Amino acid sequence: MDGIILALGGGGVRGAAHNAVLDVLSAANIPIVGLAGSSAGALSAAVFAFGLKLSPSTMSDWLKDPDLERLQKSGVLDQIGRYVDFVRRPYLAEAKSLRQGLRTVFGEARIEDSPIPLAIQATDLHTGDLVNLRAGPVAEALAASSAVPSIFPPVLWHGRLLVDGDVAEKVPITAAKSLGPYPIVAVDISNKPELSEPKSALEAALWAGEASRRRLMSVMLEQAAVVITLNPDEPIETFDYTKSDLAYELGKLRAKAALPQIQGLIQLSEPAPVTKSWWRLWPSRSQTQETQTITSQTQHDK
């Protein structure tokens, strides 16, 4: 069957734009034969792959972390270098609410049992290697893919410390390519680059890291058939949960503009319906593979 593979990048609450893109493509009967996601993109990919119907506001209510809300309201995320815990602890938020929310949404679901082939991208904190998770508990994989360094604790996965997939590749083109020989539609939900001067040495260092990731991303995006970019006029902060609806509407606008290009990638016909049902949230634990990296390294449950 003809179809496309989606590569959905990270961006916190801007991930609501991914939901809008998926809604637009579904309404246009675009067959999606694979989903790769990093961080917020991994969450949207998993929600769609398992056929869950959650509004952006509902997802925010279930997944937002009170520690992050407290930091956001106090302005700490904007002036993180002044926050004493930043130098005393390896992370600022415990992520307990986030992980509980993921378990509430996905239960015992496993990546390998997804009705649509699914790849969740994380990064090995020690080596910097991209880790392409193709099997194992969805909730734990999403926690790893969303573990922003210095904000959330890393996730231990079979002896490896995993963090946010964006560290290795902001839009998961490599993971998308592992899902099959289909055209890749990439969705980049980044804010526009800052044009002002940094206010502190730490901010300058953070911006330098972001600039490096942007450069790598631009190279990787050349491998996608179509690229949808969010580019909000005003920055939508990563943990500003009040802006999820705004991100969704902007994502819908960008997806509709890109729809003719996407339709041109495939020979549109009536796609075979994908069965998505709630029972898939509690699959049998019949398989033992947990992790598959892009180098085909496989580890097994202990």
pLDDT at position 115: 96
- 165 and 38 Cβ atoms separated by less than 8 Å: yes
Check if 164 is active-site.
yes
pLDDT at position 228: 97
Task: Provide mean pLDDT across the span 129-151.
Answer: 93
Query: Which residue type is seen at 193?
Result: P
Quick: pLDDT tens for 60-70: 666 666 666 56
Q: Over 90: is that where the pLDDT of 293 sits?
A: no
Least confident range from 82-96, 158-172, 226-240: namely 82-96
pLDDT at position 193: 81
Which residue matches tokens 């993180």? Answer: 80
Dist. CA 40–CA 274, nearest whole Å: 23
Residue 138 CA to chain centroid, in angstroms?
Answer: 13
Q: Which of 1-10, 41-50, 94-103, 211-220 has the highest mean pLDDT?
A: 41-50
Task: Provide mean pLDDT across the span 13-17.
Answer: 92
Q: Over 70: is that where the pLDDT of 286 sits?
A: no
Active-site residue (options: 124, 164, 166, 188): 164
Buried b (16+ CB within 10 A) or exposed e, 12-38: bbbbbbbbbbbebbeeeebbbbbbbbb
Task: Provide mean pLDDT across the span 78-83.
Answer: 47
Q: Over 70: is that where the pLDDT of 5 sits?
A: yes
Parallel, antiparallel or unpaired: strands 130-133 and 184-188: unpaired
Q: Over 50: is that where the pLDDT of 81 sits?
A: no
Which residue matches tokens 């995320």? Answer: 77
Query: Mapping DSSP to helix (H, G, I), strand (E, B) and coil, where does residue 19 land?
Result: helix
Query: Mapping DSSP to helix (H, G, I), strand (E, B) and coil, where does residue 177 land?
Result: helix
Check if 113 is active-site.
no
Quick: pLDDT tens for 196-224: 787 666 557 666 777 777 778 888 999 99
pLDDT band at 51 (very low <50, low <70, confident <90, very high): very high
Task: Provide mean pLDDT across the span 4-18.
Answer: 94
Q: Is 52 exposed, middle or buried (0-12, 13-18, 19+ CB in 10 A)?
A: middle
- 46 and 277 Cβ atoms separated by less than 8 Å: no
Residues in the chain, total: 302
- 153 and 166 Cβ atoms separated by less than 8 Å: no
pLDDT at position 201: 67
Task: Provide mean pLDDT across the span 25-45.
Answer: 96
